[in-house]
Structure 1
C-alpha cells in the first residue's frame, strides 16, 4: 500500500470515527443533556481516550454536534428535492427526510441551552428556506391552506415531526410509524379542502 493510500484510509477511518462520535452525541444528549463524555464514548463504541483525541472537552464536542446536526438537517432537506414534483409529494418527502434525522432535531430543539449556542455567529441555518418555498408553492397551487401563513404551516410541520420523533424515542410510537403518523396528521389538518 502506498503512503497516499494509507493516509486516505486513515482519514476515512478518522472521519467515520468522528462521525460515530457526533451521531452518538446527538442521540445521547438529546435524551439527557447531563450525559457525560464517557456515556457518549460508550454509545459511540469508542474509548474515552479516543473521544478526547477528537474532542478534548465537552464544550468542543457540543459545538461540533450542533454544527453536525445543522448540516444533517440541511442535507436531509436538500436530498428531499422539495422543488420537484407535486407539493404534497414533496412535503411527504420532507417529513420522511426530517424523521430520518430525528435525533439531530431532538438534540437541536429539545433543550434551550442548545438553541442559545445555536444562535452563535456562523451556527445558524441559511436564510433561504426550501420548506417555506415549498409551502408557498403549495398554497399557490391550492394544496395547502392559503389562509394560514407559510411560517405557521412550517412551525406546525416542525412541531409534528419533533413530537413524532420524541414519542418514538420514549417508546410511545414505533420509529417506523413516525413518518406516516406525521403525514396523516399534517394532511388532515393543514391541507386545503
Structure 2
C-alpha cells in the first residue's frame, strides 16, 4: 500500500512540535513506517522539516481562502477562520516553534504572504470599526497566529479538548481585540510619554 506523504508529515509534526531534536526513528514509528520508508520519502531531516513547513503554510493558506478572509465583515471572517484553522492548529504550532524554517527563503516568503493576509484582515476590521485601533494590525496578526499555535500544543498535551478549541480561541482573542464603543481607546504608555514630553 502506498504511503500517504501528508499523513507522514502530520505524524512528524506530532513529534517535532514538542521534541524538535527527535530522531528520525521516532518520527518513523509515529507514522507507522520504517526508517527506510521515511528516508525514501524524505532524503534527510532538513528535507522533512522543510516539507512539514510547506504543508503547514499550505493548510493555513487554504484556511484563509475558505474563511474568505479580507472580504465582508471582518469579525465574521475571523470567526470562520478560527473554525477552519483549528483542525490544523498543531501545524501552526510547528511553524511557530521550528527555528530551522527561518533559514529557508522559500518558506519565509510563503510565511510573509500569509501573515500579510492576516494583517490585511485586521486592518480591514479596524477600518470597519470592529477591532481596536490602539492595537496595531500587525500585532493582532501575530497574536492571533500564536494563539492558534498555543491551542495546538494545548490539545496535544491534553490541556484542552478539541471540541472546546474554537470557542476558546474566539472568546479569548475577540474578547481583547474587539473595539469597545462605550469607552475611548486607551493610549499606550509609550505614546503617553511622548505626548507628555512634547512642549
Per the normalisation by structure 2, the TM-score is 0.80
Q: CA deviation at 1:177?
A: 0.8
Structure 1 residues 117, 165: closer, same or farther in 2, change over 3 A? closer
Structure 1 stretches of 4+ with a deviation exceeding 3 A read none
Which residue is equivalent to 1:123? 107
Task: Say if 2:69 is the partner of 1:82.
Answer: yes
Task: Say if 2:7 is the partner of 1:23.
Answer: no
Task: Say if 2:37 is the partner of 1:69.
Answer: no
Q: CA deviation at 1:56?
A: 2.5
Counterparts of 1:176 and 1:71, CA distance in 2: 23
- For structure 1, the 5+ residue unaligned runs are 1-12
Per the normalisation by structure 1, the TM-score is 0.82
Q: CA deviation at 1:95?
A: 1.9
Counterparts of 1:60 and 1:160, CA distance in 2: 27
Which runs of structure 2 are paired with 1:42-191 in the superposition (5 Å)? 42-110=29-97, 114-124=98-108, 125-127=111-113, 129-191=116-178
Counterparts of 1:76 and 1:118, CA distance in 2: 22
What is the root-mean-square deviation in Å for CA atoms of aligned residues? 1.9
How many residue pairs get matched? 177
Counterparts of 1:35 and 1:105, CA distance in 2: 19
Counterparts of 2:33 and 2:48, CA distance in 1: 14
CA contact (8 A) 1:66 1:118 kept: no
Q: CA deviation at 1:91?
A: 0.5
- For structure 2, the 5+ residue unaligned runs are 181-199
Moved more, 140-149 or 64-73: 64-73
